[in-house]
Every structure is written in structure tokens, then in C-alpha cells.
């Protein structure tokens, strides 16, 4: 028996499903999940010593590759002074200043411990600031496992065939209006009916938990205009896209500025972290200045802040975005070429270091089209890739991530393996 199989047997006895996050269980791709014992650069190394070229990149944070020496050194330096203080610390001020300087919408920012905490806090803050209760979200957009947001969600919930969750009172979900993404008419209609009741619209500006979807021209602009007209808070969930598609996220690329932004992943350098920020007048409604309560024992943890500061410094000094775009185009073109030779309809939406595969005749523009795409092909590709040393997200509805270490032989090999996988279909 392999070490990973043995570990999974042990884990299933004492961890629900044997995993600490559902998509890791490989339910949608089949087989037994591997366990990782170390990671370096573009590679994971399994408990059975198999090297894997990694296109999950710890689900987004590892934009500089695994075990980056600069980030590692920053953590080691911070560790000398302690693991947690329970008081304000120097690192969190530095981090806040960097976020404010890089993200267009953020005038003030509060650190939390996860992307879920960040989105949860933006919703509470929007409701507290506006005095309203209803929110709009979009089918297939995943904003963490928040009760009012886990309605027609993407990510692991979609992968498991349960885009909702047990344990959420219907009254919570009743305050959430779910609309199809990229449907301006539906958005206008919702504002006409509920406009004076809408506290917030929350959106992944590039939905990336149902594959990767891009907005139609003018769609996000219409969303911004409607929110401004009705006094509704526009929230961009840039937990995935923040600092990855550009230093300032999608809002930098598009020039569309939300009122609040949820952040995470890269700003922790691989350690648990989240943040939310936006207009000062809204952020000042957070305690201790305002009536909206939010707190966290480990918020602004010095180790996480030190790691995140190092990650952001590297983005500023190295400016890897043009290289990452080149890597993304390289793998996109290889996949499309292989599918064309095979005669398979394949869409590979890609921006910078993010891409996914949709086996569909036409570009996928919303949740319904995503779930209607052919997913069995992805399962075959996943297993072929894993057997030959390439690790893709274990779900057809997740986005793949590239890091700055995906270059040279690693990228060449990955393109070869994935092309072979497509041609084997």
C-alpha cells in the first residue's frame, strides 16, 4: 500500500471524509487523494516521493512558487519575536499601507483570518451601513462558506453536486437574491423590484469557482451604475483575483471601483489570512468606531503579515505579470492545439496566471453553461496528468493557477502531458 493510501485510510477514521476541505477528497475525479510531504517552486512532492508539477498552487496564494526563500526568510525573522501577540503589531500597519496603496477601492482595511471571514464581514458591514437586509449574489460565484452566501455557490459545493448546504435556515437564504451572471436585464429587473431593500451586490468580478468566466463588455459597468443609483454597496470578492491578475486585481484591470473589496490568499504568503477594505466612510462603521461588530483573536497575526508583506514586495520588485501572462498563453495554446488535432470542442479561458478547461462548443459565460459542459473528459485528463506528474485541481469547476516558477522544463513537460491527455480522449 502507498503511503498516501495508508494516510487516507487513517484520516477517514478521524476526519470527516478524510479531508479538511471537501474538494480535496477527489470525489469528482475519482481515485484516492495523495498526501503532500513537501513543496518547492512549481512542484509538490507526495508522501510516496512522486514529484508533481502543481497547477493548484495551494489554491492561489503561491504566485511566487512553493517555499519561496524570501517569504520563508521573512517568516523566520518574524518567528524570532513570537508567534502571536494579541495586540496591535508593526507588521499589520505595514500590510495595511501596502494594500491601500495597491488596491484602488481601499481607503481603509481590516485584517481577518480567511477569505470567508472577509466576505462575511463585508456583508455584515454593508447591511449595517445601509440599514437594509437583502443582497444580490450570482449563480456559481463562491464567497466562502457563509450562511447567506452559500446559495447556488460554485467551488467545492458545486463539485459535490450541492450548490447549497444543509444547516442554513431558509430565512437566511430568503434575504439572498441569486441572479445569472452576465445577464444585465436580470440585474436591472432585480433593482427595479428590490432596489430600496438592497444592502449589497457581491460578485467575483471574474467568477473563478465555476471554472473561469469573464464579464461581457459593459456588464460590470452596469452593476456599478445601478449600485450607485440605488445606494447599494458594491462588493468585489477578489480573494482569488486580487494581486494575481494585476497588482490591484480586476478593479485595476477594468477601472471599475467597488465600495468594498474582500481579499485573501496572496496577502498571506501561504499562511492563513484575509482582509476587507473600502471607502473610509463605510469602513468606519466597524467597531470600535461604529456599530458593526467584527473581531478576531489571530487577525493581523505577525507571521502571516510578515509572509504577506514579503509576497507583495516581490510582486512590486519583480513585477512578474508579463511573464505569468506568457506562461498562461503558452499552456492555453498547447491545450487548444491538442483539442483541435483531436477534433474536440474546448474552451480555455485564461488571464495572466489563471486558466481553466471547458469542453464546450461555445465560450462559457455563466453558471448554467458551465454545468452543461462536458465534465467526463476532465476526469480522464486529470487522472492521466496525475499519473504522469502534473497536478490539476481535482474538479472540472475549479481554476488552475500558474506561478513564477512554472518556466523552462516544468512548463514544457506540463504542456506535453496535458496535450497527450487531451489526445488520448
- The mean per-residue pLDDT over the stretch 172-201 comes to 92
Catalytically annotated residue among 54, 68, 237, 259 = 237
CATH number of the domain where residue 166 is located: 3.40.640.10
* CB count in 10 Å sphere of residue 133: 12
CB 339 within 8 A of CB 418: no
For residue 22, being part of any structural domain is answered with no
Asked whether residue 243 is domain-assigned, the answer is yes
Asked whether residue 366 is assigned to any structural domain, the reply reads no
Is the residue at 114 inside a domain?
Answer: yes
Judged by DSSP in three states, 39 sits in strand
Active site residue 142: yes
DSSP code at position 197: G
pLDDT higher than threshold 60 for residue 25: yes
Residue 409, preceding bond cis, omega within 30 degrees?
A: no
Residues in a beta bridge with 38: 45
Catalytic residue among 91, 142, 181, 367: 142
CB 111 within 8 A of CB 96: yes
User: 347 lies in a domain?
Assistant: no
What pLDDT digit, counting tens, does each position of 342-379 carry? Answer: 999 999 999 999 999 999 999 999 999 999 999 999 99
The reply to whether 367 belongs to the active site is: no
* Residue 265 among the catalytic residues: yes
Place of cell 444580490: 136
In a domain, 128, yes or no: yes
Which of these is catalytic: 265, 314, 321, 367? 265
pLDDT of residue 162: 46
Cα–Cα distance for residue pair 280/260, rounded to 1 Å = 10
Looking at every residue in the chain, the average pLDDT score rounds to 93
Split at pLDDT 50, 70, 90, the class of 158 is very low
Q: What is the DSSP letter of 59?
A: G
Percent of the chain with pLDDT over 70: 94
pLDDT band of residue 292 (cuts 50, 70, 90) is: very high
Mean pLDDT value across residues 274-283:
98
Residue 20 has pLDDT above 60, yes or no: yes
Total tally of structural domains belonging to the chain: 1
Task: Tell me the pLDDT tens digit for each residue of 72-102.
Answer: 999 999 999 999 999 999 999 999 999 999 9
pLDDT tens for each residue of 199-236:
999 999 999 999 999 999 999 999 999 999 999 999 99
pLDDT of residue 161: 44
The range of the structural domain enclosing residue 189 comes to: 93-317
Q: Is residue 358 assigned to a domain?
A: no
Dist CA 64 CA 266 (whole Å): 9
Residues 6 or more apart whose CB falls under 8 angstroms from that of 366 comprise 139, 140, 180, 181, 182, 183, 213
Residue 71 inside a domain? The answer is no
pLDDT, tens only, 27-74: 889 889 999 999 999 999 999 999 999 999 999 999 999 999 999 999
- Tell me the pTM: 0.94
Grid coordinates belonging to 222? 452596469
Q: What is the pLDDT of residue 82?
A: 97
Amino acid at each position: 500500500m502507498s503511503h498516501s493510501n495508508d494516510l487516507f485510510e487513517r484520516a477517514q477514521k478521524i476526519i470527516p471524509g478524510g479531508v479538511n476541505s471537501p474538494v480535496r477528497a477527489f470525489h469528482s475525479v475519482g481515485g484516492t487523494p495523495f498526501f503532500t510531504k513537501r513543496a518547492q517552486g512549481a512542484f509538490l512532492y507526495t508522501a510516496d516521493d512522486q514529484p508533481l508539477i502543481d497547477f493548484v498552487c495551494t489554491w492561489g496564494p503561491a504566485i511566487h512558487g512553493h517555499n519561496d526563500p524570501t517569504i520563508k526568510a521573512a517568516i523566520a525573522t518574524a518567528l524570532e519575536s513570537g508567534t502571536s501577540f494579541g495586540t496591535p503589531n508593526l507588521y499589520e500597519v505595514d500590510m495595511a499601507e501596502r494594500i491601500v496603496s495597491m488596491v484602488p477601492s481601499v481607503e481603509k482595511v481590516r485584517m481577518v483570518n480567511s477569505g470567508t471571514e472577509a466576505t462575511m464581514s463585508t456583508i455584515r458591514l454593508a447591511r449595517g451601513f445601509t440599514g437594509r437586509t437583502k443582497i444580490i449574489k450570482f449563480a456559481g460565484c463562491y464567497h466562502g462558506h457563509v450562511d447567506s452566501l452559500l446559495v447556488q455557490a460554485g467551488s467545492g459545493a458545486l463539485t459535490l453536486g450541492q450548490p447549497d448546504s444543509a444547516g442554513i435556515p431558509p430565512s437566511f437564504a430568503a434575504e439572498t437574491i441569486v441572479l445569472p451572471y452576465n445577464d444585465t436585464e436580470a440585474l436591472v429587473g432585480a433593482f427595479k423590484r428590490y432596489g430600496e431593500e438592497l444592502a449589497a451586490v457581491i460578485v467575483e468580478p471574474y467568477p473563478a469557482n465555476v471554472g473561469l468566466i469573464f464579464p461581457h463588455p459593459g456588464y460590470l459597468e452596469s452593476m456599478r451604475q445601478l449600485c450607485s443609483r440605488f445606494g447599494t454597496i458594491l462588493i468585489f470578492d477578489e480573494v482569488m483575483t486580487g494581486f494575481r491578475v494585476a497588482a490591484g486585481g480586476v478593479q485595476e484591470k477594468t477601472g471599475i471601483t467597488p465600495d468594498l473589496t474582500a481579499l485573501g490568499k496572496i496577502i498571506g504568503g501561504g499562511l492563513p489570512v484575509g482582509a476587507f477594505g473600502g471607502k473610509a466612510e463605510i469602513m468606519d462603521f466597524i467597531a470600535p468606531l461604529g456599530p458593526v461588530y467584527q473581531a478576531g483573536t489571530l487577525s493581523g497575526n505577525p507571521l502571516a503579515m510578515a509572509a504577506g508583506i514579503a509576497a507583495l514586495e516581490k510582486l512590486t520588485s519583480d513585477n512578474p505579470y508579463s511573464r505569468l501572462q506568457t506562461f498562461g498563453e503558452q499552456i492555453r495554446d498547447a491545450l487548444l492545439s491538442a483539442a483541435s488535432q483531436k477534433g474536440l470542442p474546448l474552451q480555455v479561458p485564461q488571464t495572466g496566471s489563471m486558466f481553466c478547461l471547458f469542453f464546450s462548443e461555445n465560450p462559457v459565460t455563466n453558471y448554467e453553461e458551465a454545468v452543461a459542459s462536458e465534465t467526463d473528459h476532465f476526469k480522464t485528463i486529470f487522472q492521466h496528468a496525475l499519473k504522469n506528474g502534473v497536478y490539476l485541481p481535482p474538479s472540472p469547476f475549479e481554476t488552475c493557477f500558474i506561478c513564477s516558477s512554472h518556466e523552462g522544463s516544468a512548463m514544457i513537460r506540463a504542456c506535453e502531458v496535458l496535450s497527450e491527455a487531451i489526445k488520448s480522449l
